[in-house]
Amino acid sequence: MTVTLTLSDDQPHERAGQNVAQIYERLREAIITGELAPGEIKTQVAISDEVGVGRTPVREALRLLQSEGLVTGEPNRRVRIAPLTGSDVEELYVLRIPMEINAARLTVPNLSFSDIAELEGYMAQMAHYGNGRDWIGLRVPHRGFHAKLVGRAGPRIVKLIGTLADHAERYRLSKLAQPVEPTIEQWAVRKDEHREIADAAAEHDAELTAELLAHHYAKTAAYVLSNIAPSQTPTRLRTVLEHTMPSAVASLDGPLRPA
């Protein structure tokens, strides 16, 4: 993997901080998209050579990634890209589902006419990329769609949800977690789910939007777990759903489909 990066031409003291941020963002993107594979071990020297900068900003960027849980430290100045595990994905949705459904409850009643128009725009873009089987291209409108549903819950909540969404994206794009592409029929189901969510939001029905989101994410978690940890029973997630959105428990046990 060769990481290409265009660094700032500002003053040296400004450039150092900006370079750390740029390296962090580039490495983070490579991890999320799988360009840096789950479980892969890299040395700081190798990363520095690939990025074309000194070890100090690379080391600082790796510390940020480690604090986020995307890499772990190894002996001899090496790092391991965080693996994809059943325990991790279950924990991810244990956090994500309650946070997003409550953020939707706070946001949906206050969506404006232009907000609804943006949701429709994201729907059109998702249909374009999905119909073209471009799952990487789907990322931006898909993220924008879900972000719009929680955007008025408060900056701290929005930031946390964004981080969880990015971590979930690793599973959506991984061939380990998603070994086959959705069929045309499965993609149609996914579009219908987003259509129902958008329609509920357009009616300012916060509770229905929250319920549909919970079902949507429960199905995703069940599918990913079936591929990376088929023997794992999602006890924690089931317990959380029973307390936050009981109707969505059934989606953990329903027909599996690519997320």
**Which domains are delineated in the chain?**
12-81 (1.10.10.10), 86-252 (1.20.120.530)
Q: What is the pLDDT of residue 11?
A: 43
Identify the sign of the CA torsion 52, 69, 180, 140. negative
Helices 206-228 and 184-202: crossing angle in degrees, nearest 10, is: 150
Instruction: Please give the average pLDDT of every successive group of 10 residues along the chain, which has 259 residues.
Output: 46 55 92 93 89 87 95 89 96 98 98 98 97 93 97 97 95 89 90 97 98 97 94 96 97 77
162 Cβ neighbours under 8 A, 6+ residues apart:
147
Bridge partners (DSSP) listed for residue 80: 41, 72
| pLDDT number for residue 7 | 42
Say which residues have a Cβ less than 8 Å from residue 27's Cβ, sequence separation at least 6.
3, 36, 47, 61, 62, 65
Single pTM value for the model: 0.88
Q: Which tokens in the block code for residue 192?
A: 């219908």
pLDDT at residue 10, as a whole number: 45
The pLDDT of residue 254 is 76
* Contact between residue 71 and residue 62 where contact means Cβ atoms under 8 Å apart: yes
Helix residue spans in 182-234 (DSSP H): 184-202, 206-228
Nearest to 126 by CA among 191, 72, 179, 185: 191
Give the DSSP per-residue string, 129-145.
HHHTT-TTTTHHHHHHH
